[in-house]
Structure 1
Amino acid sequence: MGPLPRSRLPFLLLLALTAVVGCDSSSPPPPPAEQPVSDVQFDVTVPPETPVDAVLLLQGTDPGLSGPSGQGLELVYQGGRVFSIKTRLPKSQELTYSVRMSAPTAQVALDAVGQAVPARTVTLRENEENVGFSVERWGPPSGVTQPQTVFVVAVPENTSPDDSLYLPGNQPELGPWDPGKVKLYKAVNSSYAITLSFAPETPLEFKVTRGSWETVEKNAEGQDIDNRTFKTGGGFERVFITVERWDATPPPPPVLTGNIQYLDVTPANSALKPRKVIIWLPPGYEDNPTRRYPVLYMHDGQNLMDASTSFAGEWGVDETAQRLVQEGLVEPLIIVGIYNTADRIAEYTPVPDLPNYEEGGQADAYGQFLVEQLKPQIDNTYRTKPEGQYTGLAGSSLGGLVSLYLGMKYPGTFTRLGVVSPSVWWADQDIVARVDALPAKLPLRIWEDIGTEEGDSSQEETETVEDAQALRDALVRKGWAEGTDLKYTVIEGGRHNERDWAARFDDILQFLYPEPPLTP
């Protein structure tokens, strides 16, 4: 086609100008280029005590971390100790984020000293990124200042998911020694956990059960284990425990030797709890209706004769006494075992051991119960020789401590004392000071012993040879003579448990109740 006529050019130019001037200035601009994004996976490694049913939320400044509820994105448990979430977020910007637990309790991430961890930041630069971080511990937003001891328990693969685990031990926070009281919760990585608070330098003894002493943990060979031990440091610490094996076979029936009877006793003092009493009667008791017998009272009665009621194995008192009486090596006697209660520490100590044991100091009330209520009941029920020269008192650990204390307080009631692995350390060797303060030697026949492996002399609050020696020296200074009315024994390799006490109960009984009988 040829060139346009000159007459049409102004018209076309006018149309072009009209189109430009007449366009609507309020019309939307063309859509901007799409903002670059990054696929981001957050992997959070949680502390081992994190509950397995924990709900963890990832929160941050970007709307992409708000989640459907606006509270954050819920992370998914991946197994082990890892929770994860993958999401799409804007690229090339600084992102602030944090993690918190919303269930089973509301908690935030804390650092090692117990302060809330500030929000983290990351700049997303790749198309796909992985952001990994760890949580040291959980706690309230205000932080944690008190000491915390976390127990983390790994269990055998054959542990039933329906099993409940418990942590009985020697402190009030651990039961004490109630096999079904202090329950652990299920934690990540197929473990169980609990967090407790103890005073610094508290000596702990404990075991793991499934609710009873019949279901207590065993070693790999299926045998009983010694009490686990740990001394608290006063800050935040974890105690890792591995249960080697559960006893898969039904527990054997109780093995009781001789004539065994029981009493249920409610102390007249309402500050003391009701308890059971086990009584062993000597061979021939029923066949000699006119004969009367000396009596040995012993603490921690559930540990003496019946493994099914013991929290740490039994002494075998019934079998040992039965054999020694039948062999004519000890005088026939009656043995009375007083069960302990949850107030064992308080009842077996004459004063508190501050600041760690404020509950101590009820030995006077416990002794009054023995002297004014239990002993008269035993004397009225059984054919005893009620006089003090025929009556003894024995126990181990704190039971050894209270035996000596009550023997000195009631020398007319108890004159034969079994002071086994005594807790001489209690209240800065308070018992040693009491012996030194005696105005004169008392008519007491005393067995004292200690094992060389019961404690470390570099530590406080544990039974040591040095402490036991200090007590022996105090008794000698006051007039007791070794080989006559004092028997002091150091057991090489001896440990602080029922098995070792059972091994020497034979010697203890022969010293306190020899045959022929001691001359009053």
Structure 2
Amino acid sequence: MSDEPKQHTLTGTFRMHEKVSSRYLESEHDVIVYLPPGYDEDAERRYPVLYMQDGQNLFDEATAFAGEWRLDEAAEQMIGAGLVAPLIMVGIYNAGAYRIDEYTPTRDSAKRAGGNADKYGRMLVDELKPFIDSEYRTLTDAANTGIGGSSLGGLVSLYLALKYSGIFWNVAVLSPSVWWDNRFIVRRVRALGTQPPLRVWLSTGTEEGDGVVAGARRVHDALVSKGWVVGDSLHYQEIEGAGHTESAWADIAPAMLGFLFPASR
């Protein structure tokens, strides 16, 4: 194994906010902000925003745990091709040892952990989003605000979008950890009254294991039973040969951005 440090691979314009604290959480989070092409040239234009979990894995090989999503390259490519609306992306670094607790809505007795997603959500909604809206030229309404992630990050993103459906209307749920607390998130969807106006990208890979694929199918079925329509408000995909890896999520990042933030919208 090479001892050489990994090279930075950031593409585009970024701002970094380090050790962002919260009155709701014990942890601090680094926050990396991607700004779209032309952001500094047009001082009047405002942009939609996508908040993503596991921010250290999104843009930069040097900070990624096991490879990066290349989400910056995906955005630059799709914006340049006129397929995605120029947008701001906010990567919230996970807090290491606090990740499981903050990304899970309930305590799982089998894991003896979890259950701080509500506090994490308060940080995001009450503190981070207002800060981003004040610091950058954002479109602040729910129709122009998204949330997303993979694995436990996908779980917490769907949970918080359902809880704060007046704030997030665009949701990226990649390879979600549906298994958490005996499929709590499926029960949460089924318990909905009226269908909130969310556009949901839901995907999984066929090489993630039968349990992961079955979990994604259960979420799909629950969403459809509540009124989501595949091809309209819901994108559902089982990606042949894809595993539970950053490289697999990188492969579908352009399409995910195109579904949630199309240039033609």
Q: Which residue in 2 is equivalent to 1:509?
A: 257
Asked if the contact 2:49–2:139 (Cα under 8 Å) also holds between the matched residues in 1, the reply is yes
Asked if the contact 2:6–2:61 (Cα under 8 Å) also holds between the matched residues in 1, the reply is no
1:351 to 101, 106, 111: 106
Q: Which residue in 2 is equivalent to 1:430?
A: 184
2:229 to 471, 476, 481: 481
Q: Which residue in 2 is equivalent to 1:77?
A: none
Asked if the contact 1:283–1:322 (Cα under 8 Å) also holds between the matched residues in 2, the reply is yes
Query: How many angstroms apart in 2 are the aligned matches of 1:512 and 1:477?
Result: 21
1:322 to 42, 51, 76: 76
Q: Which residue in 2 is equivalent to 1:297?
A: 51
Q: Which residue in 2 is equivalent to 1:398?
A: 152
Structure richer in strand, relative to its length: 1
Q: Does 1:376 align with 2:130?
A: yes
Query: How many angstroms apart in 2 are the aligned matches of 1:414 and 1:481?
Result: 18
Residue deviations 1:423-450 (CA, integer Å, cap 9, x gap) = 1111111100111100111110000001
Structure richer in helix, relative to its length: 2
Q: Does the residue aligned with 1:412 lie in a helix, a strand or coil? A: coil
Q: Which residue in 2 is equivalent to 1:441?
A: 195
Q: Does 1:499 align with 2:247?
A: yes
Which aligned runs of 4 or more in structure 1 are off by greater than 2 angstroms?
Answer: 250-253
1:362 to 116, 119, 123: 116
Query: How many angstroms apart in 1 are the aligned matches of 2:93 and 2:109?
Result: 26
Q: Quote how far apart the aligned CAs of 1:455 are.
A: 1.7
Letter in 2 for 1:289: A
Task: Give the TM-score normalised by structure 1.
Answer: 0.50
Query: How many angstroms apart in 1 are the aligned matches of 2:6 and 2:62?
Result: 8
Task: Give the TM-score normalised by structure 2.
Answer: 0.97
Asked if the contact 2:7–2:61 (Cα under 8 Å) also holds between the matched residues in 1, the reply is no
Residue deviations 1:188-209 (CA, integer Å, cap 9, x gap) = xxxxxxxxxxxxxxxxxxxxxx
Alignment of structure 1 residues 158-307 onto 2, 5 Å: 246-247=1-2, 250-264=4-18, 265-269=20-24, 271-307=25-61
Query: How many angstroms apart in 1 are the aligned matches of 2:81 and 2:127?
Result: 34
Letter in 2 for 1:355: A
Q: Quote how far apart the aligned CAs of 1:456 are.
A: 3.8
Asked if the contact 1:272–1:366 (Cα under 8 Å) also holds between the matched residues in 2, the reply is no
Asked if the contact 2:30–2:93 (Cα under 8 Å) also holds between the matched residues in 1, the reply is yes
Residue deviations 1:138-162 (CA, integer Å, cap 9, x gap) = xxxxxxxxxxxxxxxxxxxxxxxxx
Alignment of structure 1 residues 62-101 onto 2, 5 Å: none
Aligned-pair Cα RMSD in Å? 1.0
Q: Quote how far apart the aligned CAs of 1:393 are.
A: 0.2
Q: Which structure's relative contact order is higher, taking Cα pairs within 8 Å and 6+ residues apart?
A: 2
Letter in 2 for 1:360: G
Query: How many angstroms apart in 2 are the aligned matches of 1:482 and 1:272?
Result: 39
Letter in 2 for 1:346: D
Q: Quote how far apart the aligned CAs of 1:346 are.
A: 0.5
Query: How many angstroms apart in 1 are the aligned matches of 2:259 and 2:66?
Result: 25
Percent identity of equivalent pairs:
51
Q: Does the residue aligned with 1:476 lie in a helix, a strand or coil? A: helix
Residue deviations 1:110-161 (CA, integer Å, cap 9, x gap) = xxxxxxxxxxxxxxxxxxxxxxxxxxxxxxxxxxxxxxxxxxxxxxxxxxxx
Asked if the contact 2:34–2:89 (Cα under 8 Å) also holds between the matched residues in 1, the reply is yes
Letter in 1 for 2:258: Q
Query: How many angstroms apart in 2 are the aligned matches of 1:314 and 1:412?
Result: 31
Query: How many angstroms apart in 1 are the aligned matches of 2:11 and 2:49?
Result: 18
2:218 to 442, 465, 470: 470
Query: How many angstroms apart in 2 are the aligned matches of 1:313 and 1:416?
Result: 25
Query: How many angstroms apart in 2 are the aligned matches of 1:276 and 1:343?
Result: 13
Query: How many angstroms apart in 1 are the aligned matches of 2:193 and 2:6?
Result: 52
Q: Does the residue aligned with 1:307 lie in a helix, a strand or coil? A: coil
Q: Does the residue aligned with 1:343 lie in a helix, a strand or coil? A: helix
Q: Which residue in 2 is equivalent to 1:336?
A: 90
Task: Give unmatched runs, 5+ long, in structure 1.
Answer: 1-245, 458-463
Q: Does the residue aligned with 2:149 lie in a helix, a strand or coil? A: strand
Task: Give unmatched runs, 5+ long, in structure 2.
Answer: none
Q: Considering only CA atoms, is the larger Rg found in Structure 1 or Structure 2?
A: 1
Residue deviations 1:351-385 (CA, integer Å, cap 9, x gap) = 011122x2200000000000000000000000000
